[in-house]
Amino acid sequence: MGVKRGAGRLGAAMFAPALLYIVALVGVPLVLAFLYSVGDVKVGSVGYRFVGLDNFISVLQSPTFRGALLHSFLFTVGAQLIVIICANILALALVDRFRGRGLVRFFILLPWVAPISLGAIGWKWILDSIYSVINWALVQLHLVKQFEAPMWLGEPTLAMLSVIMVHAWRMLPFSTVILLAGLTAIPKDIPEAAAVDGAGFWRTHFQITIPMMTPIINVAVLFGVIFTFTDMTVVYILTRGGPYNTTQVLPSLAFFTGILGGDLAEGAAISVFLVPILVVIAWLMLRLAHRAEVV
Amino acid sequence: MAVVETKDLTKVFTPGERGAVNDVNLLTREGEFMVFLGPSGSGKTTLLRMIAGLEDPTAGEILIGGQVVTHLPPRDRGIAMVFQSYALYPHLSVYKNITFPLRAQGVPKEEHRGKVEWAAGLLGIGELLKRKPRELSGGERQRVALARAIVREPTVFLLDEPLSNLDAKLRASAREELTQFHERVGTTTIYVTHDQIEAMAMGDRIVVLHEGFVRQVGSPREVYDDPADTFVATFLGSPPMNLVDHGDVLVGFRPEHLLPRPLVEGPAVEIGVRVTGIEYLGSERIVYALIDRDRFAEQKVVAKLPATYEVGVADGEAVEFAVAERNLRFFDKTSEKRADSRALVWG
Amino acid sequence: MIGLKGARRRRLPFQIYRWTALSVFSVLLAFPFVWMAITSFKQTSDLYNLNNNPFLFNERPTLEHLKLLFEETLFPRWFLNTAFAGAMVVLITLLLAVPAAYALARLTGRWGERLGIAIFLTYLIPPTLLFIPMSRVVSELGLQDSLWSIIVVYPTFTVPFSIWLLMAFFKSIPRELEDAAMVDGLTRFQAFVKLVIPISFSGILTVVIFTFTLVTQEFVYALTFISSASNQTIGVGVPIYLVRGDVYYWGSLMAACLIASLPIAVFYNLFLDRFIAGFTVGAVK
Ligand SMILES: Nc1ncnc2c1ncn2[C@@H]1O[C@H](COP(=O)(O)OP(=O)(O)O)[C@@H](O)[C@H]1O
Ligand SMILES: [Mg+2]
Q: How many angstroms from the chain centroid is the CA of residue C59? A: 37
Please indicate if any CB of chain A lies within 8 Å of the CB of C25. Answer: yes
pLDDT, tens digit, 9 for 90 and up, residues A261-285: 888 888 899 999 899 889 998 888 8
B71 and chain A: CB distance < 8 Å anywhere? Answer: yes
Distance A295 CA to ligand 1 centre (A): 24
Q: Confidence band (pLDDT; 50, 70, 90) for B42?
A: very high
Q: Stretch B34-51: mean pLDDT, rounded?
A: 96
Question: Among candidates C59, C56, C66, C32, which has minimal Cα distance to C43?
Answer: C59
- Position with higher pLDDT, B327 vs C14: B327
Q: Is a pLDDT exceeding 70 seen at residue A4? A: no
Give residue-wise pLDDT tens across range B208-233.
Answer: 999 999 999 999 999 999 999 999 99
Cα dihedral value A107, A113, A117, A123, nearest 10: 10
Is residue B226 within 8 A of residue B41, CB to CB? The reply is no
Please name the helix (run of DSSP H) or strand (run of DSSP E) that holds residue B81, with its range, or none.
strand B79-82
- For residue A293, is pLDDT > 70? no
Examine the pLDDT at C1 and tell me if it is beyond 50.
no
Task: Output DSSP code: residue A50.
Answer: -
Ligand 2 mean position, distance from CA B21 (Å): 12
Is the C-beta atom of B45 inside 6 A of ligand 1?
A: yes
Averaged pLDDT score across all residues of chain A: 86
* B73 to A5: CB separation less than 8 angstroms, yes or no: no
User: Average pLDDT, stretch B66-91?
Assistant: 92
Q: C188 near C116, Cβ under 8 Å?
A: no
Q: Is B147 in the pocket of ligand 1 (CB under 6 A)?
A: no
DSSP C233-273: -HHHIIIIISSBTTB--HHHHHHHHHHHHHHHHHHHHHTHH
Per the DSSP assignment, residues forming a β-bridge with B320 are: B272
CB atoms within 10 A of CB B23: 15
Contact residues for A207 (Cβ-Cβ < 8 A; gap 6+): A194, A199
Give the pLDDT score at C182: 93
Structure confidence by residue, pLDDT tens digits, C161-174: 899 889 888 988 88
Q: How many Å separate Cα A253 from the centre of its chain?
A: 16
Instruction: Give chain B's mean pLDDT.
Output: 90
Q: pLDDT of B119-131, one tens digit each?
A: 998 888 999 999 9
Of A220, A188, A219, residue with least CA distance to A204: A188
Does B23 have pLDDT greater than 60?
Answer: yes
Question: Nearest 5°: CA angle at A239, between A238 and A240?
Answer: 110
Q: pLDDT tens digit string along A29-72?
A: 999 999 888 888 777 777 778 888 888 888 889 999 999 999 99
Candidate from A86-90, A180-184, A226-230, B276-280 with smallest mean pLDDT: A180-184
pLDDT(A1) > 60: no
Task: Give CA angle at C156 (C152, C160), nearest 5°.
Answer: 140
Mean pLDDT of B240-245: 92
A200 has pLDDT over 90: no
Q: Where are the domains of chain C?
A: 1-28, 41-72, 74-280
Is residue C191 within 8 A of residue C178, CB to CB? The reply is: yes
Question: Looking at residues C74-85, what average pLDDT do you find?
Answer: 92
Q: Is the pLDDT of residue B333 over 80?
A: yes
The preferred substitution site among B10, B13, B21 for testing ligand 1, maximizing ligand atoms within 8 Å of CB, is B13
Q: What is the pLDDT of residue C285?
A: 36
Domains of chain A in start order, with CATH, are 63-252+269-294 (1.10.3720.10)
Please list, residue by residue across B213-245, b when 16 or more beta carbons sit within 10 angstroms of its beta carbon and e when fewer do: bbbbbbebeebbeebbbbbbbebbbebebbbbe
Quick check: B116 pLDDT over 80? yes
Please work out whether the CB of residue B20 comes within 6 Å of at least one atom of ligand 1: yes
Q: What is the pLDDT of residue A2?
A: 47
pLDDT confidence of residue B138: 86
Per the prediction, chain C carries an average pLDDT of 85
C241 in contact with chain A, both atoms CB, cutoff 8 A:
no
What gap in Å lies between CA C153 and CA B41, rounded to an integer?
Answer: 49
Question: What pLDDT is stored for residue A113 in this prediction?
Answer: 85
Q: How far apart are the first and last CA of chain C?
A: 12
Q: pLDDT tier at C249 (50, 70, 90 boundaries)?
A: confident
- Per the rule left: phi > 0, alpha: psi between -120 and 50, beta: everything else, C228 is beta
pLDDT of res. C119: 87
Q: Please tell me the total number of residues recorded for chain A in this structure.
A: 295
**Pairs of CB atoms within 8 A across B/C:** 61
CATH number listed for the domain at residues C74-280: 1.10.3720.10
**pLDDT tens-digit series, residues A98-141:** 888 888 888 888 898 888 999 999 999 899 888 888 888 888 88
pLDDT band at A187 (very low <50, low <70, confident <90, very high): confident
Mean pLDDT check: name the lowest of B67-76, B309-318, C16-25: B309-318
> Which pTM value belongs to this model?
0.84
Secondary structure class of B242 (helix, strand, coil) = strand
Average pLDDT, stretch C211-231?
90
Q: Which chains touch A (3 or more CB pairs under 8 A)?
A: B, C
What domains sit in chain B, N to C, each tagged with a CATH number? 4-225 (3.40.50.300), 241-339 (2.40.50.140)
* Residue closest by Cα to atom 14 of ligand 1: B43
Q: What is the reported pLDDT for A251?
A: 94
Residue C149 to residue C154: CA distance in whole angstroms? 9
